[in-house]
Amino acid sequence: MLHSLQPVLRVLSPGLGLTLQDTGRHGFGRFGVPRSGAMDPHAFSWANRLLNNAPNAGALEILLQGAALEFLTDTWIAVCGADLECSVSRWRTVRVTSGTHVEFTRNKSGIWAYLAVEGGFGSEAAEYFGSQSTYADAGLGKKFEPGDLLQRLDKTEHRLVLPPGVASRLVPWDEHRDYRFPPPLRVWPGPQWDFFTEQDRSRFFGNDWTTTSRSDRTGFRLAGPSIKSRESQIISEAVLPGSVQIPGNGQPIVTMNDGPTVGGYPKLGLVDPADLGWLAQARPGTKVRFTPSN
């Protein structure tokens, strides 16, 4: 069923990266199509939840800093996730009017912020393999450029109506994440767990790891002590987001949303899906630690 559309904003600047994401495309990994979708499902989910949007409604994913948007109609919005010194408050609903500019001027913590609008962005016609998520390397969706217009879905059932006397909706304080200090990230044993000695497994869990600047939506590269597998290469097999792969140099690579669906590096473990968003928000230089999942 197609819903009516309404132009809602114009991109003034995409900054360092501006894409449309939802919960991703599932079930196509066997065809080599990555899941894609929001890098931080926690922040993405709260942005939509604040506005009564469908859980899978598309939202803008903003990378680091520099994005600027102009709203073309009065609407409710919500911004959650990284602190990019946004010109509107985060973690709450905000009413904007036509002509309002919303800017993300400076990265202060985290990497990815999410801007949702009442009703959600896009249309069913813009979906590829059942998702609006941008996967630019395969031409699925696009990275936005200055002048691009975005539309919102005019869904009456998802209209935000606040009770009399209530000015806004807020995310509970205990759900506001401080991305500078991620908690220990839970890891499940991977398919090649037994390829690693007890000493190497203890080294992985017993040390801090530093996220490097060579991290992106494909994978997060970590720097720390060297971890060795008895086999440096294996026959290529399925790889899931969160897979902790150990290449020949002994420095872990954690597969992320746009990462390959098959690979030939031994996989020591799998980061628990509930914790992967914490890693996605860890800027280069952030210390992360892993703990065995019970």
> Which pLDDT tens digits describe the chain residue by residue (294 residues)?
445 778 899 999 999 999 999 999 988 878 888 888 999 999 999 999 999 998 999 999 999 999 999 999 999 999 999 999 999 999 999 999 999 999 999 999 999 999 999 988 876 557 788 888 988 888 888 889 999 999 887 655 567 777 777 778 899 999 999 999 999 999 999 999 999 999 999 999 999 999 999 999 999 999 999 999 887 777 888 899 999 999 999 999 999 999 998 888 999 999 999 999 999 999 999 999 999 987
Predicted TM-score of the model (pTM): 0.92
- In CATH, the architecture of 185-292 is Beta Barrel (2.40)
SS3 sequence of the chain: CCCCEEEEEEEEEECCCEEEECCCCCCCHHHCCCCCCCCCHHHHHHHHHHCCCCCCCEEEEEECCCEEEEECCCEEEEEEEEECCECCCCCEEEEECCCCEEEECCCCEEEEEEEEECCCECCHHHCECCECCCEHHHCECCCCCCCCEEEEECCHHHCCCCCCCCCCCECCHHHCCCCCCCCCEEEEECCCHHHCCHHHHHHHHHCCEEECCCCCCCEEEEECCCCCCCCCCCCCEECCCCEEECCCCCCCEEECCCCCCEECCCEEEEECHHHHHHHHCCCCCCEECEEECC
**Domain extents in the chain:** 5-175, 185-292
